[in-house]
Amino acid sequence: MLCLRFILLLPLVVRTCLGAAIPQDALKRRCSLSKYQFLVPHELKAVQKMKEHFEDIMLLSGHQCNTRLFHRKWSTPELSVPDRVMLVEAELDLTIAMLGLPAAPRLTELRQQPLAFLSQAREDLRGCVPTEAPSYQPSKKLRHWLQRLQVAKETETAGCLEASAILHLFQVLSDLRCAALRDQCT
């Protein structure tokens, strides 16, 4: 009977001891992106509807942009898992910032669901960045792209950045899925 009590108390003792040794934030912040391996159809439909509405507005405006930020000579599966996480975090930061810009009432309404979904994905992803490798240095490919992103943020108009982010939203979602799949992304 004494042995049974000891077995029942052991997990409590271990948890208490480890709790003091490991900060609670470290225990709570796990990297779990599995829900992004297969994106929910209603989220994809909301993104598609917003993108189509935005394309219609762009056609009517005749506004032309030459931003080629999402045109890369490499594909996301070529990157290491930590690079993928950093790439998607940067893409989501840009996309969320652009979806937060003032827009026509109908477009603002259509942006709400994709914006909430992408914001949640970014929050989940941020839990992965320190977990993957706290002092990780990105590959040359990713560093070059991050530099291009920074230059684009400084030189491109908000309208062109917005267009680039929205028109390439499915690429961002594909990159998010690839990061969620980790080594299984090919």
Closest CA to 121 of 97, 148, 89: 89
Residues 6+ apart with CB under 8 A from 101: 158, 162
User: For residue 77, what are its two tokens?
Assistant: 């599966």
Average pLDDT over residues 27-38: 75
Q: Is 36 a residue whose pLDDT tops 50?
A: yes
Rounded to two decimals, the pTM is: 0.80
pLDDT mean across residues, the chain: 83
**Where do the domains of the chain lie, and which CATH numbers do they carry?**
1-30 (no CATH), 33-184 (1.20.1250.60)
User: For residue 174, what are its two tokens?
Assistant: 């594909």
Alpha carbon 149 to chain centroid distance?
15
Cα gap 118→24, rounded to integer Å: 26
Give the model confidence (pLDDT) of 163-176 as tens digits. Answer: 999 999 999 999 99
Give the model confidence (pLDDT) of 62-91 as tens digits. Answer: 677 878 889 999 999 999 999 999 999 999
Q: Is 9 a residue whose pLDDT tops 60?
A: no
Confidence of residue 128 (pLDDT cuts 50, 70, 90): confident
Residues 6+ apart with CB under 8 A from 79: 87, 139, 141, 142
